[in-house]
Amino acid sequence: MPVCWVSGEASGALRAAITAYKDEDRRDLVRPLAGWLAPALSVAVASSGDARAALAGRGLVVVPVTGSPRARRRRGDVPLVPLVRSAVRSALWGRVAVAPVLAPTRTTRDQSTLDAGERAANLAGAMEVRSRGRPVVAGSVCLVVDDLMTTGATFTEAARALREAGASEVIAAALGATRRRAEHAQQLASPIS
């Protein structure tokens, strides 16, 4: 799993806001959530010399996790993509590509009822970089972004797919991490590994 930076613990008001944004059609929450996500993106990039150099040279690619086709059908869109685009603008990275290049290779089970081992097995080999996204990813530093980190299985699989497509480095950021993961976080945008 790549080193992941988060903005807080995924509980209380933060978790409620993420759920409302994604599942209750509260797209009006995009700006406040983007403001919450932007520091995690900035700290993730600042933590890596290669990512800082890539940002300066336009070799940084921000990759939102696009979720399952089932979730896209249920929601009618991919809410993480506009959230990540807004957070990238908030971080003053107008020239950075936000590239939703990850695609499923197969149908997976709903992760919400699975434990850590089951989640890892469920997602193993379940993502790939779309063929049109491969030139964007090859040789780039990729910052993969999701809303929440629960066990790290999604980030692990996304990083595997990005590395397989030629990413030179993969780092990660999320709005929040579950209590089990957030225990390691000491402050805003703390690393989770």
Q: In what order do the strands lie in the sheet with 169-177?
A: 97-98, 60-64, 141-149, 169-177, 4-6, 190-192
Handedness of CA 2, 33, 65, 115 (dihedral sign): positive
For the chain, list the domains and their CATH numbers. 4-192 (3.40.50)
Q: Which residue has the higher pLDDT, 187 or 37?
A: 37
Cβ atoms of residues 38 and 3 within 8 Å: no
User: For residue 39, what pLDDT is reported?
Assistant: 93
pLDDT tens for residues 89-145?
988 777 788 999 998 876 666 666 667 677 666 566 678 899 999 999 999 999 999
CB 65 within 8 A of CB 102: yes
- Is the Cβ–Cβ distance between 148 and 56 less than 8 Å? no
d(CA 116, CA 19): 21
Q: How far is CA 190 from the centre of its chain?
A: 15
CB-hemisphere CA count at 13 Å for 27?
Answer: 10
Reference 81, options 22, 166, 124, 162; nearest CA is 22
What's the pLDDT score for residue 92? 73
At residue 73 the predicted structure's pLDDT band, cuts being 50, 70 and 90, is low
CA–CA separation, 15 and 164 (whole Å): 32
- The mean pLDDT value for 15-42 works out to 92
Annotate 152-163 with DSSP letters as a single string. Answer: SHHHHHHHHHHH
- The two tokens of residue 185 are 């976080």
In this predicted structure, what is the pLDDT of residue 76? 65
Do residues 188 and 8 make contact, with C-beta atoms less than 8 angstroms apart? yes
The answer to whether residues 4 and 170 touch, using CB atoms and an 8 Å cutoff, is no
